[in-house]
């Protein structure tokens, strides 16, 4: 039996109840990161390559790179390395 079609963009939505990393109280706090953005930053910070991150998460490299860009934009970073440092500065376990 085929799964019902969930509409445009259904595959990119986080599951119900998914946690988001949110900073509160800091005047320079960026917007929240999605669970996927946080996971990608964590794995890249640990030294995993893009293909090593993409494969188990069932992401294409294009989606992975878009997630990296989104995380960088959320944190106001120009690079993934800078995004990791900013996430750590804001108290995230990256």
- For residue 9, tell me if it sits in a domain: no
Q: Could you tell me what percent of the chain has a pLDDT over 90? A: 54
Q: Which of 17-31, 41-55, 58-72 has the lowest mean pLDDT?
A: 17-31
Count: domains in the chain: 1
Residue 49, both tokens:
């390559």
Which residue segment(s) compose the domain that 39 sits in?
A: 31-94
80 domain residue, yes or no: yes
Number of H helices, E strands in the chain: 4, 0
Residue 7 within a domain: no
Tell me the CATH number at 40. Answer: 1.10.10.10
Cα-based distances in Å from 75 to 4, 43, 49, 72: 36, 17, 21, 5
pLDDT of residue 86: 92
């Amino acid at each position: 039996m085929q799964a019902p079609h969930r509409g445009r963009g259904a595959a990119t939505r986080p599951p119900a109840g998914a946690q988001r990393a949110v900073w509160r109280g800091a005047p320079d706090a960026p917007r929240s990161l999605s669970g996927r953005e946080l996971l990608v930053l964590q794995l890249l910070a640990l030294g995993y390559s893009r293909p090593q991150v993409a494969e188990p998460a069932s992401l294409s490299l294009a989606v992975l790179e878009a997630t990296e860009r989104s995380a960088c934009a959320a944190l106001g970073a120009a690079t993934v390395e800078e995004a990791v440092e900013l996430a750590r500065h804001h108290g995230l376990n990256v």
